[in-house]
Amino acid sequence: MGGAWFYWVSFSFRFYDLRVLIPLIIFVFAFGYGVFFWLIGSLQKSYLRALAFLGFSYFHPFGFNWFVPEVTLVDSFFDFTKLKFAIFLVAILAMLELKRYYKLFFIPLLFLSVRYENPSYIVSAQKIYLASRNIPQDKKWKEDYLDTILKDNFRIINKAIKKKYDIVVLSESVFPLYLNSRVDLINKLLKLSKKITIVTGSLYSDGKNGYNSTFYFIDGVFYVANKVVLVPFSEEIPLPRFIAHFINDYFFKGAEDFKMAKKPTDIPINGELFRNAICYEATASRLYEGNPHLMIATSNNAWFTPSIEPTLQHLLLRYYSRIHDTTIYHSANSGGTGVVQF
């Protein structure tokens, strides 16, 4: 289960010249999650196994939270809030434990765990263009490919202007540089923002630290929303600093961890408030504090394609969208672009 659910994590190592580690990473996930499933299965009482399985959805090793058991119910008749999932497990427990016709008592419990109501979504009144890109990860950060990417970015923006959209959203780090250091690009985007609101992913530097960020160009002014929840062992090493430095130097060619913002950013666009989310953090409960009605999310899934990762991400986005009644406008590179509602 662990290997099948998370084999794709290893694919990112292709771009660090560490393909040799791919089997090891898959084994680590398979073995690690296998141990926890074995521990749950070793419990003698069925009700203890049910409680442990429910608790498993709160278990996030090193902050990695993409194992959510109840996400398997997203496309079923059953609800997947924590309460309904608990009722669902109790129904299964009754079916396993009760004798003979007493098992019929599990049927009413199943009905209690069925989803009846629909989320009360609010949608944007603005016309939003979500750009879908397929920039190969092995080319994205190469200097000789930069002009091609930049030309395509501006082509998409001008296309959205021509089609009378109010907002155009480009994917995570689609400007593969520290955008605030390029005055020429900033000025060009500011000029275009008089015609359309531009939302785009890039990197931001404050002179000391680097951030994975989203830039909002609105009517001649730009704002920066920095990422709040970083990807473990990719954007940050969640280990003591001396170990993190060693891993970054040895495996990631001396790269430094990104810094993170202290809290989620809400950006007002033409009277509507959008919560900003960048890829992994769009599947983190912290980004949904206050139950935002509208969210703009950007992703770069080229690290992991071809794999199930964009599908799993989409399921998780639908899961959080349902839990928090949030409409998510998602622009992704290599799969996943679209408006996400349950």
Select which of 70, 140, 172, 236 is catalytic. Answer: 172
Q: Which two tokens stand for residue 71?
A: 């996400």
**For residue 204, how far is the Cα from the chain centroid?**
20
Q: Which two tokens stand for residue 172?
A: 């995570």
C-alpha 269/C-alpha 166 separation (Å) is 10
Q: Kindly list the distances between the CA atom of residue 11 and the CA atoms of 149, 173, 252, in Å, as whole numbers in the listed order.
A: 23, 19, 14
Q: Report helix angle 22-41 to 46-56, nearest 10.
A: 140
E-assigned strand segments in the chain: 128-130, 167-169, 175-178, 197-205, 210-218, 221-226, 266-269, 272-278, 294-300, 327-333, 338-340
Known catalytic residue: 279? yes
320: nearest Cα among 68, 56, 123, 4: 68
Provide the 8-state DSSP code for 151: H
Q: Which two tokens stand for residue 211?
A: 């951030």
C-alpha 150/C-alpha 133 separation (Å) is 12
Q: Report helix angle 46-56 to 82-97, nearest 10.
A: 160
Give the phi and the psi of residue 68 in degrees, each rounded to 5.
-125, 100
Known catalytic residue: 227? yes
Select which of 70, 140, 227, 281 is catalytic. Answer: 227
In 3-state terms, what secondary structure has residue 222?
A: strand
Select which of 140, 236, 279, 281 is catalytic. Answer: 279
* Under 8 Å between Cβ of 169 and 129: yes
Known catalytic residue: 162? no
29: nearest Cα among 251, 309, 280: 309
* Under 8 Å between Cβ of 115 and 318: no
Name the residues annotated as catalytic.
Answer: 172, 227, 279
